[in-house]
Amino acid sequence: MAQYWLMKSEPNEYSIDDLKRDGRSPWYGVRNYQARNIMRDDMKAGDEVLYYHSNAKPPGIVGRARVVKEGYPDHTAQDPDDKHYDPKASQDDPRWFMVDIEFVEKFPRLLALPDLRQVEALQQMVLLNRSRLSVQPVKEEEFDLILRLAKEGFGDS
């Protein structure tokens, strides 16, 4: 059974439109152990991903992607010329891992962070509580509700 995740990207680095253009992309550059462990150990091909724009005005969920390649070494950590270079990474001990994701859809509307904070059923989301984790789990109910909000909006309430 597919699992659900949320991945953050700064739109001026790599936006949902960039992913749409490319079709699929490796998720390189994550340098946080918890996020790494999720990509290395937990994310499986076919898993659903919510695409989040951080450092945007406003920040929010903008679309969906899907995991197409499971955890493998992030080679940018071994490239001295890359801005994600980590001198402690090597072929024997790659240290950092990534997955590949593919574009699924861009939502017809942005689900802005302040609006998500108003939704009672989403109060337990990692996004709303431990906001710094850039790859994080999402519950199935949360994912389903977000898809519905993406299609129907937040309503007049």
Q: Give the position of tokens 């462990």.
A: 37
Q: Indicate the residue among 23 and 83 with the shorter CB distance to DNA.
A: 83
- In whole angstroms, how close is the CB of 114 to DNA at the nearest point? 5
Q: Indicate the residue among 45 and 54 with the shorter CB distance to DNA.
A: 54
Q: Indicate the residue among 102 and 115 with the shorter CB distance to DNA.
A: 115
- In whole angstroms, how close is the CB of 53 to DNA at the nearest point? 8
Report yes or no: 52 and 127 within 8 Å, Cβ to Cβ: yes
- In whole angstroms, how close is the CB of 62 to DNA at the nearest point? 12
| Cβ neighbours around 56 below 10 Å, total | 17
Q: Indicate the residue among 45 and 49 with the shorter CB distance to DNA.
A: 49
Site residues for DNA per CB under 7 A: 8, 10, 31-34, 54-56, 58-59, 113-114, 130-134
- In whole angstroms, how close is the CB of 23 to DNA at the nearest point? 24
Report yes or no: 45 and 89 within 8 Å, Cβ to Cβ: no
Please state, in angstroms and as integers, the Cα–Cα distance from residue 47 to each residue in 24, 37, 55, 114, following that order.
14, 16, 25, 26
DSSP label of 41: I
